[in-house]
Structure 1
Amino acid sequence: MQLHYAPPCFQKQTIFLSGALNAVAMAELRNVFDIIANSEVTDVTIDFTHVSRLDASGVGAIVFLFKRLKNTQRTLKITGVHGQPEAVIRLLRMEKAINTQFLD
C-alpha cells in the first residue's frame, strides 16, 4: 500500500491510498489516521481510486477514524470506491454511516 497526502488546506485533508488496505498496511496507516484524528482538520476525504483490496484490518482503521472524527463533529468521506473494496463496503453497509462515493 502507498499513502500520499498533502498538507491540510482550509481545514480539509485528502488522503490518497493505493494498493491493498490490509493488515500489512495498518502499521503506517494507523499512525496517519491517529495524527489526523488529533489535528484541527474538520473534513477528511480518503481517495480509494487506486485501492485494489480491503480487508477487515482496513475496515477497522476506517471505522476508527470515522468514530474519532464524528465524536468531535467532523466529517469523513470516501471517494473513488470500486471493485473488491466496493463489495466489502456494500456488504457491511458502511455507506449508510460514512459518506461514500462509488465509481460507476
Structure 2
Amino acid sequence: PSDFSGFTVDGFKDEFEKLVETDSKSIVLDLSKTEFIDSSGIGAIVFLYKRIEKKNHKLMLLNVTGQPYKLMTLLRVDKTIPFVDSI
C-alpha cells in the first residue's frame, strides 16, 4: 500500500497470517509503492519477521525508499530484516 500506517495495518492481518503459514522458505514484501510508514506498520513487519524466523524462513523487504527507508534505517530495521533492490 502507499500508506502502511495504523489506519491500514489491520487490513493486512489475514494476508500476513497466510504468509506465516506458507511453506515458502523466503518471503519478500514489496514496498516499492509504500510512501509512508509509521510505528504500527513497522511493528506489523517486525511481528511478521519474528513469526517467520521461528519457522527458519527468511523475510526480505523489496524496494524500500523515501520516508519508509529513512524511518526504518533510523530504527535499524535494515540490520535485522534485509532490504533488497531486486528478487
- TM-score w.r.t. length of structure 2: 0.91
**Which residue of 2 is the match for residue 66 of structure 1?**
49
Pair 1:51 & 2:34 matched: yes
Q: Tell which has more relative contact order, 1 or 2 (C-alpha 8 A, sep 6+).
A: 2
**Equivalent residue for 1:100, pick from 63, 80, 83:** 83
Shift of 1:41: 2.1
Q: Which residue of 2 aligns with 1:40?
A: 23
Distance 2:37 2:4 in 1: 5
Rounded Cα–Cα distance in structure 2 between residues aligned with 1:52 and 1:69: 25
Write the letter of the residue equivalent to 1:38.
Answer: E
Structure number with the higher strand fraction is 1
In structure 1, distance between residues paired with 2:20 and 2:81: 16
1:34-62 CA-partner distances (Å, limit 9, x unpaired): 12112222210011111000001100110
Q: Alignment length, in residue pairs?
A: 85
Alignment match, 2:68: 85
Work out which of the residue numbers 1, 7, 10 in structure 2 matches 1:27: 10
> Root-mean-square deviation (CA), in Å?
1.1
Instruction: Tell me, in whole angstroms, the C-alpha distance in 2 between the residues paired with 1:43 and 1:68.
Output: 13
Structure 1 residue ranges (4+ consecutive) displaced by more than 4 angstroms after TM superposition: none
Stretches of structure 1 that go unaligned for 5 or more consecutive residues are 1-17
